[in-house]
A and B are shown apart, each in its own frame.
Chain A
């Protein structure tokens, strides 16, 4: 038997591994373009959040039908990848179904289970394609998805359908060959789903079926390797990043806005309060707030790479619902696109951050961030615990503190607050006037 297929397989495998390694390093570096932030407290709570939200798909189940379909695809993905392990061993050793003799009936059972999931994935993907392209669920056909995002979503569904069909077809051809006693093929117990495909193939000779089986095998394994690489360019990165992303969730109350200690020192000085500790000059004060991705935290950028573009955030956003320009999903997509742009430029020895562009301004406009009510609906809605609000608020800080560019009415409010300690223009001495009426009333 020729050893050539094994060599080709190994070459493929090594090449895919190399490309993946490069891509992962690129993504990791891009995420680290963000500022350091420690999110390692409360590990027990974090593991639990990850188990429930990423593994357990807890937040998906706010919408039942997509949740069930998604669950099928998710389980299919995990379980079918177990089969890929066998593919890889077979590919390297030149064996076929190396585990079949070892596992016997269990192997047949497992194969049937894989096939069942493959069919589940297939059906779900077809329904997803219909929802996206024919029934046009509003959140899946919005403006920000035009072009690559829409193509990306469809491509992945089509690839998955093809991969699942390849598995079924391979099993069908393989079992006909095995039943004919062709060398190399292992006869298993009955496989329910792929047996349904047998009538299409039984009319052909052995050599054609071997060709079909081999073609499907190669298609599947090369497809999977290609898929793994493709994922790193796609919103489907969430299948991996959902796990770290939920582990590093914000565990603080959603209404709490992060404090800026670098401001506290100055405020204490202005108010004549002795600064706590030994008035150590704060480490180099960077920019106040965020103008570009390097002002954000690495968690914000990881959030962006974890975004599934599902639009659940946007469809709950009061600003978006009432027709404002703000879309939290677009905010996440913009952060990712900017990180990619800067990352590529840096790798090419280009200008990186100094390309005359920035996240705020070139990607996200002030009109968008000004429309946010900080209601946290987007944060609540996100199935992988992404926090678009944190990014929006950091950009508002930049506009207010570095550019003094807040809307005029906000500047007026700031002024009132400075002079009369209330956002409205009332005299502070009138603050207690409300009590006069009550004090005059007799208690009932």
Chain B
């Protein structure tokens, strides 16, 4: 048996190849200790299915989303234009990313700056693999029969109308999908979007992630599924704050599939 492979675009180009998809890892996917596991899980799935992919590796930079939303348009465009130059240089056509913020920015905001790609969130990509029979689910593994709730990310749901793909993945796990009081178009933010991830919240009664975690816990689910690095951090912190980290786990959708497939 061979090892998992993580080719970079540069390596591919050097050998005259062009992969079918660029996996856009994102800053959290590259640096966040907890979230690196999601990147690794997704890469394992890609290897397992035999998808032709590559990453930018050291050539990737932040998409600029937090800078733009905090108001620094110069910085945003500096990052964006540089990224677009790199991607266009490799003649990228199709981008898959696990981060809804990267997804939204590359899909909706890069075209105005000359970056036109087909952009897919990993939940949509994974759902397609399941539908096409390329991933055959084994019944949910350790979650079989348990309750899982899904936390809608604002940048996936309301911002881009992706509501069903993540739910289809959870349903394919042979688990019970339970909805929170506020879900889909009425979902409550985890509190991290709009660059809130990078500063303390303003004064108030409560932090947003605590309010959201309370809702998630009310469902009685034993796992909270998310499809976003920020949501993963916010919900995990919320669960810890409520001292429930032994009973309730927070997982990304890719991790759920990796577990089901025995990849982690």
Contacts of B39 in A (CB 8 A): 434
Which residues of B lie under 8 Å from residue A260 when comparing CB positions? 73, 77
Residue of A nearest to B33 (CB): A434
Cβ distance A66 to chain B, nearest Cβ, rounded Å: 16
Is A318's beta carbon under 8 Å from chain B?
yes
For the complex, what is the distance from the CA of A432 to the CA of B25, rounded to whole Å?
9
Q: Contact partner of B61 among A252, A370, A421, CB < 8 A?
A: A421
Segment with Cβ contacts to B, from A115-123, A196-204, A336-344, A403-411:
A403-411
A288 touches B6 (CB 8 A): no
CB-nearest residue of chain A to B104? A255
Instruction: Write the nearest CB–CB distance from A395 to chain B, whole angstroms.
Output: 8
Which parts of B207-264 form the interface with A (CB within 8 Å)? 207-208, 210-212, 262-263
- Known contacts A373-B193, A375-B194: does B58 contact A432 (CB below 8 Å)? yes
Q: For residue B192, which residues in chain A have a CB less than 8 angstroms away from its CB?
A: 373
CA distance A428 to B253 in the complex (A): 27
Among B25, B107, B194, chain A packs the most CB atoms within 10 A around the CB of B194
- Is the C-beta of B172 less than 8 angstroms from some C-beta in chain A? no
Q: Nearest Cβ distance between residue B50 and chain A, in whole angstroms?
A: 11
Given contacts A322-B204, A324-B203, A432-B8, contact A423 B3 (CB under 8 A): no
B138 within 8 Å of A by Cβ? no
A422 interface contact, C-beta 8 A = yes
A355 within 8 A of B: no
CB closest chain-B residue, reference A389: B194
Near A by CB (< 8 A), chain B positions 16-62 give: 25, 27, 29-31, 36, 39-40, 43-44, 47-48, 55, 57-58, 60-62
A206 to B207, CA, bound (A): 70
Residues of B within 8 A of A396 (CB): 69-71
In the bound assembly, the distance between CA atoms of A421 and B82 in angstroms comes to 10
Do B72 and A414 have beta carbons less than 8 Å apart? Answer: yes
Contacts of B64 on A, CB cut-off 8 Å? 417
A259 to B115, CA, bound (A): 13
Whether A393 pairs with B199 at a CB distance below 8 angstroms is no
Contacting residues, chain A, for B181 (C-beta < 8 A): none
Shortest A366–chain B CB gap in Å is 10
Contact of A323 among B44, B104, B205 (CB under 8 A): B205
Would A417 and B108 count as touching, CB distance under 8 A? Answer: no
Q: Find chain A residues with CB under 8 A from B113 CB.
A: 259, 264
Q: Nearest-CB distance from A196 to chain B (Å)?
A: 43
| Across-interface contacts of B55 in A (CB, < 8 A) | 432, 435
Q: Which residues of A contact B136 (CB under 8 A)?
A: none
Surface stretch bound by B, among A3-11, A128-136, A215-223, A266-274: A266-274
B4 close to A443 (CB less than 8 A):
yes
What A residues does B159 contact at CB under 8 A?
253-256, 376
Pick the residue among A267, A376, A440 that contacts B158 (CB under 8 A). Answer: A376
A434–B36 Cα distance when bound, in Å, is 6
Q: Which residues does chain A contribute within 8 Å of B31, judged by CB atoms?
A: 422, 424, 426, 430-431
Tell whether, in the assembled complex, residue B4 and residue A376 are in contact, meaning their CB atoms are under 8 Å apart. no
B43 touches A438 (CB 8 A): yes
Chain A residues closer than 8 Å to B85, beta-carbon distance: 271, 273
**CB atoms of A410 and B189 under 8 A apart:** no
Contact with B along A88-112 (1 / 0, CB 8 A): 0000000000000000000000000
Interface residues in B, total, Cβ within 8 A: 83
Closest to A379 in B: B158
Instruction: Evaluate contact between B77 and A263: CB separation under 8 angstroms.
Output: yes
Whether B94 sits at the interface, judged by CB under 8 Å, is: no
Q: Is the CB of B194 within 8 A of A372?
A: yes
Interchain CB contact under 8 A, B198 and A409: yes
Q: For chain A residues 245-262, which have a beta carbon within 8 Å of chain B? A: 252-257, 259-261
B55-100 CB contacts (< 8 Å) to partner A: 55, 57-58, 60-62, 64, 66-75, 77-79, 81-82, 85
Which residue of chain B has its CB nearest to the CB of A396?
A: B71
Cβ-neighbour of A443 out of B2, B40, B187 (below 8 A)? B2
State A9–B13 Cα separation when bound (angstroms): 83
Q: Which of A372, A373, A396, A412 has the most CB of B within 10 A?
A: A373
| B166 within 8 A of partner (CB) | no
Q: Does B173 belong to the interface (CB within 8 Å)?
A: no
The A-contacting residues of B in range 106-162, CB under 8 angstroms, are 107-109, 112-114, 154-155, 158-161
Q: How far is the CA of A169 from the CA of B29 in the complex (A)?
A: 71
State whether the Cβ of A316 lies closer than 8 Å to any Cβ in chain B.
Answer: yes
- B202:A321 contact, CB within 8 angstroms: no
**Partner of A400 from B2, B72, B114, B210 at Cβ < 8 Å:** B72
Question: How distant is the Cα of A432 from the Cα of B23 in the complex, in angstroms?
Answer: 13
- Nearest Cβ on chain A to B152's Cβ, whole angstroms: 10
Q: Chain B nearest CB: distance from A248 CB in Å?
A: 20
- Whether B201 contacts A371 by the Cβ 8 Å rule is yes
Residue A442 at the chain B interface, CB threshold 8 Å: yes
Q: Which residue of A lies closest to B74 (CB)?
A: A263
B177 part of interface (Cβ distance < 8 Å): no
Closest to A370 in B: B202
A397-B204 in contact (CB<8A):
no
State in angstroms the CA–CA spacing of A435 and B29 once bound together: 11
Contact between B154 and A319, CB atoms less than 8 A apart: no
Residue of B nearest to A409 (CB): B199
Q: For the complex, is A374 an interface residue (Cβ under 8 Å from B)?
A: yes
Do B57 and A393 have beta carbons less than 8 Å apart?
no
Provide the bound-state CA to CA distance between A397 and B74, in Å: 10
Report A359 CB to chain B, min CB distance, Å.
15
CB within 8 A of B204: which of A62, A324, A418, A431? A324
Judge whether A399 is part of the interface by a CB distance below 8 angstroms.
yes
CA distance A270 to B68 in the complex (A): 18
Q: How far is the CB of B70 from chain A (nearest CB, A)?
A: 5
The residues of A that contact B36 with a CB separation of less than 8 Å are 434
Query: Closest 3 interchain pairs by CB?
Result: A255-B159, A323-B205, A400-B71
Knowing that A393-B69, A397-B71 touch, tell me 6 more A-B residue pairs with CB under 8 angstroms: A255-B159, A271-B81, A396-B70, A409-B200, A437-B40, A441-B4
Which residues of A line the B interface, CB within 8 A?
A: 62, 252-257, 259-261, 263-264, 266-268, 270-271, 273, 276, 288-289, 316, 318-319, 321-326, 367, 370-377, 379-380, 393, 396-401, 406-407, 409-410, 412-414, 417-418, 421-424, 426, 428-435, 437-444
User: What are 19 pairs between A and B in contact, CB < 8 Å?
Assistant: A62-B186, A256-B108, A318-B191, A319-B204, A322-B204, A371-B204, A373-B154, A375-B154, A376-B159, A377-B186, A396-B70, A401-B72, A423-B66, A434-B25, A434-B30, A438-B43, A439-B3, A443-B47, A444-B263
